[in-house]
Amino acid sequence: MADIRGAYDRWSETYDTQQNPTRDLDALVLQRLVPALDGLLTVVEAGAGTGKNTAWLAPRCARLIGLDFSPGMLQVARHRVRSPHVQFLLHDIQQPWPLADASADIVLFNLILEHIESLEPVFCHAARVMRPGARLLISEFHPGRVLEGKGARIDQGEEPGEFVGTFLHLLEEYVVAGSAAGLELESTAEWTVALLGGSTPDADELQPLILSLCFAKRDDVPAA
Ligand SMILES: C[S@@+](CC[C@H](N)C(=O)[O-])C[C@H]1O[C@@H](n2cnc3c(N)ncnc32)[C@H](O)[C@@H]1O
């Protein structure tokens, strides 16, 4: 079994600086998916990593809890985002989350679910902490790319870099896991590197790199 936590500990020093179009595209996708937070909402980031997205979210929300199981990644995040309303917790998101029922307005999965074998339990943990009307926003490495044999890879100069460990999740799996957790699918989208701008992408680069989904917790569904 892949040592995903150990791989991220090793990657933490270079994660932010190595060339990584998926990471950069995800940052832009997040900014398009997240609704106006108006400094009022509570956000939970599952797999907050080095705090790349936390740094953008923190000034916009009332409270933010970042969960991650890699001490190395969280060390970078804690250095990067120092605000009393932001809390980073060392936690494996496959275990029940250390958060109160119905306490979050937005839950985010960004580039983490490719490392999770079974989506349903994790979606149930997320749904439990969501308030009625809350949103679950997902931006993940596209299954089409996983089918090509690609996935998160630590590039530390050597060729090829170390694979972290990737599970394939087709769109239908996300839909089924959301529905099992009592969440309603509102929208999906595919994103390509064209969003990053720069030189004209070739046909391969125009294959979607990220799949995003937005789920809502219905008002009439009690916490799981
Ligand atoms: C590719 S990074 C993405 C980080 C951040 N969301 C971003 O978009 O920059 C994936 C993160 O998920 C974390 N992760 C993977 N599996 C996890 C699990 N089971 N529980 C908690 N964190 C996990 C890793 O430690 C890593 O920080």
Q: Give the closest residue to 49 by CA, choosing from 25, 79, 21, 84.
A: 79
The residues spanned by each domain of the chain are 4-216
Q: Check if 77 has its Cβ closer than 6 Å to any atom of ligand 1.
A: no
Q: Per residue in 12-71, pLDDT tens?
A: 999 999 999 999 999 999 999 999 999 889 999 999 999 999 999 999 999 999 999 999
Q: Determine the distance separating the centroid of ligand 1 and the alpha carbon of 22, expressed in angstroms.
A: 14
Give alpha helix (H) positions in the chain: 4-11, 21-33, 54-57, 71-80, 119-129, 143-147, 171-180
**How far, in Å, CA of 34 to CA of 9, rounded?**
28
Q: Determine the distance separating the centroid of ligand 1 and the alpha carbon of 182, expressed in angstroms.
A: 24
Q: Helices 119-129 and 171-180: crossing angle, nearest 10°?
A: 50
Q: Check if 92 has its Cβ closer than 6 Å to any atom of ligand 1.
A: yes
Predicted TM-score (pTM) of the model is 0.95
Q: Check if 49 has its Cβ closer than 6 Å to any atom of ligand 1.
A: yes
Paired tokens of 22: 């998926």
Q: What is the pLDDT along the chain (224 residues), one digit of tens a residue?
A: 579 999 999 999 999 999 999 999 999 999 999 999 998 899 999 999 999 999 999 999 999 999 999 999 999 999 999 999 999 999 999 999 999 999 999 999 999 999 999 999 999 999 999 999 999 999 999 999 999 988 888 876 666 778 888 999 999 999 999 999 999 999 999 999 988 888 887 888 789 999 999 999 987 655 55
Architecture of the domain delimited by 4-216 = 3-Layer(aba) Sandwich (3.40)
